[in-house]
């Protein structure tokens, strides 16, 4: 199964990606060529360069961030109430329709 996700990039452009349920959201973004999402640690929850901002409705559907994710998000100047690290979110857990915004670079 896959989901369509509307992604707003840093320049305000939007694109639609097809994301496989077996991937993390970071992997799906990376595989679809969203290269402004650096994901430097490869998904180990240690870099915070995979930061995305979700709509309230999408954020509310997900389990809360772990303590490690929460601490890393705190290191971002651009954290919002609905920020997540995309490597810690499974595509399978996202509702449809789904939208997100790539967070500004720290
Ligand atoms: S890829 Fe490094 S924290 Fe997500």
Q: For residue range 20-78, list pLDDT tens digits in order.
A: 999 999 999 999 999 999 999 999 999 999 999 999 999 999 999 999 999 999 999 99
d(Cα 106, Cα 48) in Å, to the nearest integer?
9
Mean predicted confidence (pLDDT) in 1-21:
97
Which residue, 78, 95, 81, 100, is CA-closest to 26? 100
Which ligand 1 atom is nearest residue 45's CA? 3
| Residue whose CB lies within 8 A of the most ligand 1 atoms, among 27, 45, 52, 102, for a mutation test | 45
- Evaluate: CB of 43 within 6 angstroms of ligand 1: yes
What structural domains and CATH numbers belong to the chain?
Answer: 2-102 (3.10.20.30)
Q: Which residues fall within 8 angstroms of residue 89, CB to CB, at 6 or more apart?
A: 24, 25, 26, 62
- Evaluate: CB of 39 within 6 angstroms of ligand 1: yes
- Evaluate: CB of 87 within 6 angstroms of ligand 1: yes
Q: Report pLDDT for 17.
A: 98
- Evaluate: CB of 26 within 6 angstroms of ligand 1: yes
Q: Report pLDDT for 13.
A: 98
Q: Report pLDDT for 51.
A: 98
Q: Report pLDDT for 28.
A: 98
Which residue, 101, 63, 105, 68, is CA-closest to 83? 101
């Amino acid at each position: 199964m896959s989901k369509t996700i509307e992604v707003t990039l840093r320049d305000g452009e939007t694109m639609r990606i097809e994301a496989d349920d077996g991937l993390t959201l970071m992997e799906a973004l990376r595989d679809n060529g969203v290269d402004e999402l650096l994901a430097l640690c490869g998904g180990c929850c240690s870099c915070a360069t995979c930061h995305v901002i979700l709509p309230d409705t999408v954020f509310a559907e997900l389990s809360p961030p772990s303590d490690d994710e929460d601490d890393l998000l705190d290191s971002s100047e651009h954290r919002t109430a609905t920020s997540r690290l995309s490597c810690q979110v499974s595509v399978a857990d996202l509702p449809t329709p789904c939208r997100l915004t790539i967070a500004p670079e720290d």
